[in-house]
């Protein structure tokens, strides 16, 4: 399973990038037999007071692509929400 974290390090720093990798990996680990790759993208708010947005896209065997988007008050909040959502989406996909 390959996890790519894009644009996080430039905007949010290495610690946030490492946390995103860890958190998404921990949500996907139990599905490693079907997950081919995952991409995590974090976007800072354009306007002060707006939410941070985290998008996680996952490709599973057979080429099916799942994507979730979550918002949070801060980067870690958005990452946690997206990781939970992608785990739920995979559970539904793999074990209907």
Can you tell me the distance from the alpha carbon of 96 to that of 76, in angstroms, rounded to the nearest whole number?
29
Q: Using 50, 70 and 90 to split pLDDT, how confident is the model at 60?
A: very high
Mean pLDDT of the chain, nearest integer: 89
| Six-digit token string for 32 | 């490693």
User: What is the reported pTM?
Assistant: 0.89
**DSSP annotation string for 7-67:** SHHHHH-HHHHHHHHHHHHHHHGGGTTTEEEEEEEEE--SSTTPPEEEEEEEEETTS-EEE
Phi and psi of 30, rounded to 5°? -70, -10
């Amino acid at each position: 399973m390959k996890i790519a974290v894009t644009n996080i390090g430039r905007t949010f720093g290495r610690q946030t990038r490492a946390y995103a990798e860890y958190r998404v990996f921990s949500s996907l680990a139990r599905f490693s037999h079907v997950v081919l790759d995952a991409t995590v993208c974090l976007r800072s708010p354009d306007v002060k007071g707006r939410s941070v947005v985290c998008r996680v896209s996952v490709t599973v065997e057979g080429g099916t692509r799942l994507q979730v988007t979550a918002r949070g008050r801060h980067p870690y909040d958005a990452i946690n929400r997206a990781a939970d959502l992608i785990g739920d989406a995979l559970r539904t996909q793999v074990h209907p």
